[in-house]
Amino acid sequence: MKTQIIKFLKDEEGATAIEYGLIAGIIAVAIIASLGNVRTELDNLFGRIVTALKNAGSTGGTGTN
């Protein structure tokens, strides 16, 4: 029984899978955190586009000469 416990404690076969899982988790957290910034920037960009289009339409031009 003692030898089986020692053998189990020395076994590092599953350690690689755990390390890959931790790395994947850290990458996922980083992606999720950066998506918040991307959303804010996209909101700002489309807001500026909408404002520019509204201003372009209110210049009084009717499209006829």
What sign for the dihedral angle of Cα 10, 14, 15, 18? Answer: negative
Alpha helices (runs of H) in the chain, residue ranges in sequence order: 2-10, 15-57
**pTM score above 0.85:** no
pLDDT in tens, 3-45: 888 877 777 676 788 888 999 999 999 999 889 889 999 999 9
CA–CA separation, 13 and 17 (whole Å)? 8
Rg of the Cα trace of the chain?
29
